[in-house]
Structure 1
Amino acid sequence: MAGPTTAERGERQQESSDPPLARRLRPTPRLRTIIILLVVLVLLGAGSVWLLYGSKWLRVERVSVSGTRVLTPEQVQEVADVPVGAPLISVDTDAIEERLRQELPRIDVVDVVRSWPHGISLKVAERTPVLIVQKDGKFVEVDKEGVRFATVSQPPKGVPALELVVSRSSSAAASLRRFGESRLVREAVRVARALPDAVARDTQVVKVRSYDDISLALTGGTTVAWGSGEKGAAKARALTALMKASPDARYFDVSVPTAPASAGS
């Protein structure tokens, strides 16, 4: 077998003459590949940062509003104060949501969404009044959670009024001290939400005398003694059946739904 050529012997002599440290520092093909990949990743990262924050391609150019009923899109946009012209990625959506809820209490739910590449969408859901409270010649709207969220000059149609009439009797006074006005308001809301649709449309006033003494005033002078806000579904069923059985009655009592009663004609 032929021995190594002169060139090969020269290379081996050169390798054997290299210092050990130099051989260790010489990059291997695998190391070179890793270095190249790291450089590419750094360049891609820098390019992405520039694209998101430094370029003019991904900046806020428009703000859209959806879901408003009483509020106007212009009111929502003004309070949202979205920084038009700013990088889209830098917009603080949480801060915008918090600002809208605080300054526009009529808003129940709001979702601020980035619409790439140039938009911000403000999707809102307004509170719906289930009761109104008259105060100083105006009307305060109360939603299904008992939140008093807006004051209006004209009452919304089809929304019953809340009358909190706590007498001076010892039981009524004790009820007010025990539960507080806000709890009594929530109980009235609980009653209003439980009403059958046909009764809800005819309800003009929800009157609260105490926690367990809530009544309804309907159109045509009909009165319904409801009692507390508990067992609302059972009371609704009892009232519906009772009204069908006694269509000419003017007084209904479903405070004990297992023993409802009616009277008058």
Structure 2
Amino acid sequence: MQANNWLQGRHALITGGGTGIGAATAAHLHAAGATISVLGRRSEPIERTAKVVNGRAIRCDVTDREALGGAFDEARAANGPISMLVVNAGIGDSAPFARTSREAWDRIIATNLSAAFDSAQLALPDLLAGEDSRLVFVASVAGLKGAPYAAPYAASKHGLIGLMRSMAVEFAASSMTVNAVCPAFVDTPMVDESAARIAAVSRRSEEEARQSLAGMNRHGRLIHPDGVATMILMLCLPQSRDVNGAALTIDGGTTA
């Protein structure tokens, strides 16, 4: 079988698939032969991604478990059992800890961690019944170390890595692997939003704010979404069946 057909006949469901890492992952998995379902809150981005990969776009609020279950059922009806689940949906915010509201905490934990738990449970029957199934969580280097002014985000990503490692151990004897990718600051709309928030409370322009975020990566530049998507593709290949419970960093040496 040729390299570009390694995932032929396999169904990949990607949450948060409309932009950034999710859209790049959809493109990479499609190029390897997978059939794609993309979930997201906004219709336009997921429909754009689905058109590029000839996949299925499903609008869904991942924090609503009932709606999420319906979205997974719609994806199965369109593309068959789920062979690969990429949990990418996530949000961020920034504020000093003392001024972080409980509402912000609840919102971020609900999207980044509780929805990941729900997604994993909803896909689990398919993943355990399949062969060489893959569950990949998009975490962050903030899940491996502290992150000032981002306590809820860092806590959610630490929790995500704990969820991943617990599932990897529990299901190690199955045909499913469970891993996480942990990028540093990535050139995505989330970083654009962070730069806008920084510019709004400082005298810097949004471009200067972006550069300051890029400077927090040790190599001084933002990570390209394709770099993260390539790592996810690698984890999804049949040849990666022995990679399990790994938290792989894509960070230019930031956590070295």
TM-score class, shorter: under 0.3
Largest Rg, 1 or 2: 1
TM (norm. structure 2) is 0.23
- Give the structure with the higher percent helix: 2
Task: With the length of structure 1 as denominator, give the TM-score of the two structures.
Answer: 0.23
